[in-house]
Amino acid sequence: MGKGSEGIEKLKKTIVALSTVALIGSGSIFNTNVTYADKVDELEDQQSDIEEKRSKIKEDLSEAEAEVADVLIEVEELNKEIEKLDEALEKNKEKKKETKNNIKKMEEEIEDFEEEIETLEEKIEERTGILKDRIASYQKSGGNIDYLDVIFGSKDFGDLISRISAVTKITSSDQKLLEEQEEDQAEVEKRKDDVEEKLEEQEDLKVELEGMEELINDQKEENKKKKKSLKDKEKELKDLVSELEDEDQSLSDLESTVENELNTAEETEVAEDQEQNNETSSQSNATTASKSDTSNQSPTPSESGNYSSAIEAGRSQIGTPYVSAGKEPGGFDCSGFVSWAYGEAGQSLPSHTDGLSKVGTKISLSEAKPGDLVFFDTYKKNGHVGIYLGNNEFLGAQTSTGVDVADMSSGYWNNVFDGHVRRIQ
């Protein structure tokens, strides 16, 4: 199934490697000891590098999610196997119960049969006594029933005929008793053999069913162990997916920062070129100062907007996908979403986290009300921003889910929240 534990370890190492590179790479953004042209080239290289890393993370995410799907399928198959084993075990128990009842009935039948045997033996003994009495009576009257004596012991032909006649009389009169004797003896033996054979078969079946029950229970236990192992792996994979999503979010925020820095650097580079072409240094200085002032100032929030309309506008975009540097419906990054939502409410806010982190007034989380801005230290301080909704929830553009409501009281967002809340009016 997939890559198994080795695949998970490999993906974890990828996360560590990408995180380290991303953090090291971000330092180049703030290096002011280079020309703006060099800085533009450096930022473009870094932007390309981040895109490559995000592409790799998305591949790893796809692979991890596929492994989760495989695990879930395997768990479902095991559940079906366990259900079948439960059914087989139930049928086996029913068969065992039936076999025990059969054995009990046969044992009772044998007890009844033993009484019947005693009765038959009494009849046989009675018949035997009758025959003995008759023979004894015949012998007293001078008769002889020994066939050998009849053949070899006769004195003459007349004596031979006399003895044969006597034996014939006994045989004729008692022939029925002799036949009944033989039939009863044969019936006793046959019925005894039949019952013993059936009883032996049921005993063998009982042993076989007990062995089968033990085997089924062993299989169930083995499947339960496999299921637990798969559940552990499922949890590990889902944790990995969460880590990859958080890393992608961090890289996305870093990408937004790099793009903002790149835009600033390109604007400044253009300004420098214009400055060199200006006819007078005074006009050039004035233009540079004007642009510098424009670049460094944070827009002042308008007083015409309100929190509820900004939240309402933001909620209307739930489900909109995350797009790096996105500032319009159809695709937002975190700061672009906040800026757009308040823009819909009539308030002009910066579209990057650095600018948003300076607007309004900083307050504590205990003072926070719906509509305040909450900041999170992701790849850098104040690297992610959202609109506070109350009850420790905020609305923002998240990398993994797009525009959505998230809980900041536990998990990842709780870990990266350091209490920075701003009220913009």
Q: How many CB atoms lie within 10 A of CB 367?
A: 10
The strands making up 361-363's β-sheet, listed across from edge to edge, are 361-363, 417-423, 373-376, 384-390, 393-398, 402-407
Burial of residue 386, with CB atoms counted within 10 A of its CB: 0-12 exposed, 13-18 middle, 19 or more buried: buried
Q: Note the pLDDT of residue 151.
A: 44
The residue ranges of every structural domain in the chain are 1-297, 301-425
Tokens of 23: 């953090």
CA angle 392, 398, 402 (to 5 degrees): 120
pTM across the whole model: 0.37
Q: How many CB atoms lie within 10 A of CB 96?
A: 17
Run of H or E residues at 419 = strand 417-423
301-425 matches 1-297 in CATH topology:
no
Question: Which residue type occupies 399?
Answer: T
CATH class of segment(s) 1-297: mainly alpha
Q: Note the pLDDT of residue 362.
A: 95
Q: How far is CA 313 from the centre of its chain?
A: 38
Q: How many CB atoms lie within 10 A of CB 201?
A: 13
CA atoms within 13 A on the CB side of 221: 6
Give the residues across from 331 on adjacent strands. Answer: 328
Residue 346 falls in which region: left (phi positive, over 0), alpha (psi -120 to 50) or beta: left
Give the residues across from 285 on adjacent strands. Answer: none
Q: Are 237 and 1 in contact (CB under 8 A)?
A: no
Q: Are 74 and 230 in contact (CB under 8 A)?
A: yes
The pair phi, psi for residue 62, each rounded to 5°, is -60, -40
Q: Note the pLDDT of residue 36.
A: 60
Please state, in angstroms and rounded to a whole number, the distance separating the CA atoms of residues 154 and 158.
8
Tokens of 394: 């905020």
Residue 247: closest CA among 379, 375, 352, 410: 379
DSSP state of 27: G
Neighbouring residues of 373: CB distance < 8 A, sequence distance ≥ 6: 338, 356, 359, 360, 385, 386, 387, 388, 421, 422, 423, 424
Q: Note the pLDDT of residue 295.
A: 39
Q: Note the pLDDT of residue 371.
A: 95
Which residue is it, tokens 């065992």?
Answer: 96
Residue 261's alpha-carbon distances to 91, 302, 397, in angstroms, are: 73, 26, 21
Tokens of 79: 């559940």
Q: How many CB atoms lie within 10 A of CB 347?
A: 23
Please state, in angstroms and rounded to a whole number, the distance separating the CA atoms of residues 263 and 40.
9
Q: Note the pLDDT of residue 26.
A: 41
The pair phi, psi for residue 333, each rounded to 5°, is -100, 180
Q: Note the pLDDT of residue 150.
A: 46
Give the residues across from 362 on adjacent strands. Answer: 422
CATH class of segment(s) 301-425: alpha beta
Residue 189's alpha-carbon distances to 121, 196, 213, in angstroms, are: 12, 11, 36
Per-residue pLDDT of the chain (425 residues; tens, 9 = 90+): 444 555 556 555 555 444 444 443 444 444 444 466 676 777 777 777 888 888 888 788 788 888 888 888 988 888 888 888 888 878 888 887 888 888 888 778 777 767 777 777 777 777 667 666 666 665 666 554 554 454 455 565 565 556 555 556 555 656 666 677 677 777 777 777 787 787 788 888 778 788 878 888 887 788 888 878 888 877 878 787 777 777 778 777 777 777 777 777 666 665 565 655 555 444 444 444 444 443 343 333 333 346 899 999 999 999 999 888 889 999 999 999 999 999 999 999 998 898 999 999 999 999 999 999 999 998 789 989 999 999 999 999 987 789 999 999 988 899 999 999 999 87
Q: Are 154 and 165 in contact (CB under 8 A)?
A: no
